[in-house]
Structure 1
Amino acid sequence: MSEPPWWKTSVVYQIYPRSFCDTNGDGVGDLAGIRRHLDHLEWLGVDAIWLSPFYRSPMADFGYDISDYCDVDPLFGTLADFDALVEDAHDRGIRIIVDWVPNHTSDQHPWFVESRSGRDNPRRDWYLWRDPAPGGGPPNNWVAAFTGGPAWTYDDATGQYYLHSFLPAQPDLNWANPEVVEAMHDVLRFWLDRGVDGFRVDVVHLIGKAPDLPDDPEEYLPIPHSGLNHRPETHELLRGLRRLLDSYPGDRMMVGEVYLLDTTMVATYYGSGDELHLAFNFPPLYTPWDAERWRSQIEIVSRELDPIGAWPTWVLSNHDNKRHRTRYGGSEARARAAAVLLLGLRGTPFLYAGEELGLEDAVVPDDRVVDPGGRDGCRAPIPWEPAPPHGWAGADPWLPWPPEPGTRNVVSEREDPASILHLYRRLLAARRRSPSLREGDLSLIDAPPGVLAWRRAHQSGDERVLIVNFSAERVTMPPSGLSGLVEVASDGSGEGALFTGEVGPDQALLIDPGATAS
C-alpha cells in the first residue's frame, strides 16, 4: 500500500496571526509569538498550521488587502522571522500552509498605483477597468461583499470604474491578462522556494470572470459576488497553478476557499485530480447542532466527492464565522462532542486556534469594533496563561479577550487532565494510531433519533466506530453487534471500558470494535 499524501491524513491548525500571541508589546500577535508556541502545537499533535495573511498591507481588511505579496508586514515581523518559523516548525514535523489572496490586491499595491495612473499605463489591464454604463453609473449591477453597494468605484482622474468584489480598497486583478498570471505564479514560487508546504487560496472561485462582465441575474443580487462565481475560465487557471505546485518536490498543496454553498459546484474545483488538492465545503459550517442535518451533509459530501476521487475537508470554525461553541449554544458538552465529530469524519479536518480550549466568541463593545464584516468576536486573542496579560507582552490586545480567560487558557487546561484541551490531544493521538481514522472509508450506522453514528474502516483491517448524541437525552444504541472499548469519550467517562450501548446527552464516543477489556 502506497503512502497517501500528507494533506490527506493531516489535521491542519489555523492561526490568525494578529490574535495568537504578541511578543513586542504592541497588542497585536506576531510571527515570533507563533514560533514561541510551536511546542504547544507539537504537544497537541497537529500536523500542519495554516497562517492567515501576514504580508505588507494597509489593513483595510486586516491583511486580505495586500500591498506586497513577497514581504512580511512589520506589524508581524520580518522575512527572517518567517524563515525561522518555517525551520522550527519543520524541525517538529509540522508543515506550513500560508494564505494567498489571488483575486485582489490593496489599492496601495504598486501594480494598482501604476494601473490607476493613466489609461495608457502598461499595467492598466492588470485590473478590471470599464467605462460607465451608457446612461451613467457602474458598468453592471454587481454587488460588493461587506458594503452591499456596487462592486465598482469611479476614478475621477481616468474617467473609468474599477471592479472590487469586496472593499473599494481591494481592486480585483485581471486574470485574463497573461502578465498577471505569470506575476502571481512568481509569488507562489517565492514562498515555495522559502519552504512552504502549501497555500490556502482565498476566494479562488472568483479569479475567472466572463470577458463581457454581464449583469447578475436578479436572484443573485442579495448575495454579494455570487454571480461572479463558477466560471469556466477559473478551471484552466487552477490547472496552471496545479502544474506549478506539482513541479516542486514534497507534495506541495493548495486548499481553495470556494465560497459556494452548493457541494455539487464545489466538487468541480477538484477537476480531474488536476485542480485543487482540497476545497473547503461551507454548508457543514452553517449546519446547526442536529443529527439529521449532519447525516444529510455527510451523505451529500460522499455522493458528490467519492465518485470523482476527491478528498473532503471539514471545518467547524474559522476567522470569518462565529466559533462553533458559540453557534451551538455555548455548551461545553456540545463543544466536546463537536471535537469528536470534526476529527472522526472522513477527510482533512481544519481546527481553528482556540477550539482546543473550548473558547467562545468575545463580546466586543461598540467602541472596539474594528472589522468591516462584523467578525471581531471569533478573532479574539488566545489566552496562554491564567493571569493578565495572559501570556501576551503587556499591552491591551487589539480585541477584547474571549470569556473566562482566567480558566480557559493553555496553562490552566494543560494542568487539568479532564479539560477539553486534553480531549483534543487524545483525539489527535487516536487519529495517529488508527489508519481508519486517517484515511479509511466511512459508512453510516442506524441510530436512534437525535444520534449520528458511523464506521470508519481501512483496508488493513483497522476499524473505528463513532457515535455523537446531538440530543439532551440519554439514548441506547440498537442491538447490532456493536461492541468494543471506548477509546475516547467526549466527557472522559468510560474510557478504556467496554461500550455498554448507552450514550449520554451531548456525548460523543470513539470506539475500537476490535479491542477487548484487558
Structure 2
Amino acid sequence: MSKNKMTGRMWQLLFAVLFAGFVACEDKQDPVNDKPKPDTLVVEKDTFQVPALEKLVFYEINLRSFGPGCNLKEVEKQLDSIQALGANVIWLMPIYPIGEINRVGELGSPYSVKDYTDVNPEFGTLNDLKSLVKAAHKKNIAVVLDWVANHTAWDNPWISNTDWYTQDANGNIISPPGTNWADVADLNYNNAQMRLEMIKAMKFWIVQANIDGFRCDAADFVPYSFWRQAIDSLNKMGKKLILLAEGARTDHYSAGFQLTYAWDYYGKLLSIFGKNESASNLFTTHTAEYNSVPAGKHKLRFITNHDEYAWTASPVTQYGGKEGSLAAFVVTAFMSKVPLIYAGQEMAVPNTIPFFSVYPLNWDMNYAIKMQYRQIMQIRKAMHVSEKNMLPLTPDSKVIAFKLVDPAGIKDSSLLVFVNCRNVQVSYPVPADVPHAVKNLLTGSTEELPAQLSLKPFEYKLYAY
C-alpha cells in the first residue's frame, strides 16, 4: 500500500471517529444542563393576541367543581360554553401539587403549593395544560394561572433553605403572621435568592405552556419591591401579559399590575341588596374607587368569587334569591369595565362551593338563569359597553339606573340600564331628558318609555337609544 493511500485511509478513520463522538455527545442528555431554562428559552409564538384590558371578561375556574371531569381536559371540552358567556379570560385556580404536611380539608388547599413547576396529577399533566391553552387561543380566550407568592407548603423543597422563610425568635419557620393558615409557611422577601427562584418559576409557565399571565394571590402580603422586580423581569420576555393582584394596595398599579380587586364595590353591592342600603350609594362608591386607579388601569368587579362562595355564602343567599343574584350581576356587568364570573354563579348554585374537596357542578341546574347570563353578556359585547361613558340617572333608593353613552352619538349605540334591587315591585320616575323612544334589548321590540317605569321584584330592563 502506497504512502498516499495509507494517509487517505487514516484521514477516513479519523473522520469516522470524530463524527461518532459528535453524535454521541448530541445524543447524551445532561439531566442538569438540558433542563429547560425559563430565562433563556424563547416563548412559543402563535397568532393569539391578548384582548385589550378594558375588553377583558374573566371566568374563574375551581377545577374541583368543574364537573364532571374536574380537570384540565374538562375545561378544554367546555370552551364553547365558556365563550358563550362572553368570557375571554380563563383564570385557573392553582394547578400545582398540594402539600401533605399540615394539610387542611379533605384534599388540601390548592393554595398550599408543594412544587411551583409541576401540575397536580389530580388535574392532569403539563401536556393537558398546553393543549388547553392552545385550544383556548384558537377561540381568542386567554389563560391565566393563580400564583401563590406569599407562602409555600411545608413540604415544598424550598423549605430546606430556612433563610428563605420567615422565622420566629427561636429560628422556627412560621405561618403567615395574622392568619390561621397553618398549612403553609411564610416566605421571607428579604432573601434575594428566593426572589430569583420565584421569578424563574413564574417564567417557567410562560415558556413551557404559553400562558397569558397571573392572578396573584394575597398580593397585599408581598412587598411592592418584589412585585416590581418580578413584573419588570416578566415584561422583558416580550409577551403581553394579564396581571391581576388580589389586593387593595394602590402601589400594585405602579408595580405593573393592570388590575386589582374591587372590594369596596363588592361590599356596597352586598349592602344594597342584602341590607336595604340606598341603591344610589353605589355610584358614590364607584367614583371613590376609581379615584385611586391610574388611567389605563382597572378594578376587577364581581358579585362573588371562590373565597366568598366557599366560606361566606352563595350569591343566591347574599342577594335575596336566584333573581336577586342575577340582578346584581346585571349591575356589575354593565357598570364595570372588567367583570368576573365565577364558575357556578351562572347556574345560581344555591349552596356553597368548596375547593378543599371535589364538588362537581351540575351544568343543567337553573338552565334558564344560565341562558339569561348568556343573553346579558351577548348584549354587553354587541353594544361595546366597555367603550361607553357611564352616567347615573336620577338617584333612587331601590333602583340602580344609569346610562352608557356612546361617545360618537350613533343612534341605538347608547344604553339605559334599570335594575330593581328589591324583592318587591317598584316604580321609577324616568327623567324627562332621557330619550323615551327606545329599543328593548331583551325583546328586540321598539317601545316608548313611560313617565313611571314599573319594575317587578329584582327585574332589570336594558334599552338602546
Matches within 5 A, 1:381-396: 381-385=360-364
Distance in structure 2 (CA, Å) of the matches to 1:370 and 1:191: 23
Q: CA deviation at 1:370?
A: 8.7
Structure 2 residue runs without a partner (length 5+)? 1-48
SS of structure 2 residue aligned to 1:17:
coil
Change (3 A) 1:161 1:57: closer
State yes or no: 1:15 paired with 2:37: no
Indicate if the aligned counterparts of 1:11 and 1:349 stay in contact, CA closer than 8 A.
Answer: yes
Greater Cα radius of gyration, structure 1 or 2: 2
Instruction: Give the one of 28, 44, 47 matched to 2:85.
Output: 44
Q: CA deviation at 1:302?
A: 2.1
Change (3 A) 1:245 1:485: farther
TM-score (norm 2): 0.77
State yes or no: 1:202 paired with 2:202: no
State yes or no: 1:305 paired with 2:290: yes
Change (3 A) 1:5 1:370: closer
Over the matched positions of the two proteins, sequence identity in percent amounts to 24
Matches within 5 A, 1:99-114: 99-112=146-159, 114=160
Q: Deviations over 1:230-280 (max 9, x none)?
A: xxxx2222222332343244530211111x5xxxxx434323xx4321001
Indicate if the aligned counterparts of 1:447 and 1:478 stay in contact, CA closer than 8 A.
Answer: no
SS of structure 1 residue aligned to 2:240:
coil
Structure 1 residue runs without a partner (length 5+)? 24-28, 115-122, 133-158, 208-233, 261-265, 386-406, 414-418, 514-518
Matches within 5 A, 1:449-468: 449-461=397-409, 462-468=413-419
Aligned to 1:320: 307
SS of structure 2 residue aligned to 1:71:
coil
State yes or no: 1:359 paired with 2:349: yes
Indicate if the aligned counterparts of 1:426 and 1:488 stay in contact, CA closer than 8 A.
Answer: no
Structure 2 residue identity aligned to 1:184: M
Change (3 A) 1:195 1:235: same
State yes or no: 1:267 paired with 2:267: no
Q: Deviations over 1:451-490 (max 9, x none)?
A: 111122343334222111112123132332323435445x
Distance in structure 2 (CA, Å) of the matches to 1:243 and 1:484: 51
Distance in structure 1 (CA, Å) of the matches to 2:148 and 2:282: 28
Structure 1 residue identity aligned to 2:64: R
Instruction: Give the one of 242, 256, 261 matched to 2:231.
Output: 242
Change (3 A) 1:332 1:162: closer
Change (3 A) 1:252 1:507: same
Distance in structure 1 (CA, Å) of the matches to 2:301 and 2:84: 22
Distance in structure 2 (CA, Å) of the matches to 1:75 and 1:421: 28
SS of structure 1 residue aligned to 2:174:
strand
Structure 2 residue identity aligned to 1:200: R
Structure 2 residue identity aligned to 1:198: G
- What is the aligned residue count? 390
SS of structure 2 residue aligned to 1:160:
coil
Aligned to 2:431: 479
State yes or no: 1:34 paired with 2:75: yes
Aligned to 2:265: 284
Aligned to 1:251: 240
SS of structure 2 residue aligned to 1:88:
helix
Indicate if the aligned counterparts of 1:346 and 1:440 stay in contact, CA closer than 8 A.
Answer: no
Structure 2 residue identity aligned to 1:181: R
Change (3 A) 1:277 1:51: same
Aligned to 2:186: 172
Distance in structure 2 (CA, Å) of the matches to 1:381 and 1:173: 33
Change (3 A) 1:442 1:245: farther
Indicate if the aligned counterparts of 2:212 and 2:240 stay in contact, CA closer than 8 A.
Answer: yes
SS of structure 2 residue aligned to 1:425:
helix
Aligned to 1:445: 393
Q: Deviations over 1:146-171 (max 9, x none)?
A: xxxxxxxxxxxxx6352434422200
State yes or no: 1:182 paired with 2:196: yes
Aligned to 2:31: none
Q: CA deviation at 1:38?
A: 1.2
Q: CA deviation at 1:341?
A: 0.9
State yes or no: 1:124 paired with 2:162: yes
Indicate if the aligned counterparts of 1:281 and 1:313 stay in contact, CA closer than 8 A.
Answer: yes
Q: Deviations over 1:90-135 (max 9, x none)?
A: 11111101100000000010001x1xxxxxxxx2210011324xxx
Change (3 A) 1:241 1:253: farther
Q: CA deviation at 1:62?
A: 2.0
Q: Deviations over 1:163-222 (max 9, x none)?
A: 434422200111121111111111111111221112110001101xxxxxxxxxxxxxxx
Instruction: Give the one of 432, 435, 438 matched to 2:381.
Output: 432
- Tell me which protein shows more helix as a share of its residues: 2
Q: CA deviation at 1:306?
A: 4.2
Structure 2 residue identity aligned to 1:429: Q
Structure 1 residue identity aligned to 2:317: T
State yes or no: 1:509 paired with 2:461: yes
Distance in structure 2 (CA, Å) of the matches to 1:182 and 1:300: 39
Change (3 A) 1:358 1:495: farther
SS of structure 2 residue aligned to 1:76:
coil
Indicate if the aligned counterparts of 2:265 and 2:285 stay in contact, CA closer than 8 A.
Answer: no
TM-score (norm 1): 0.70
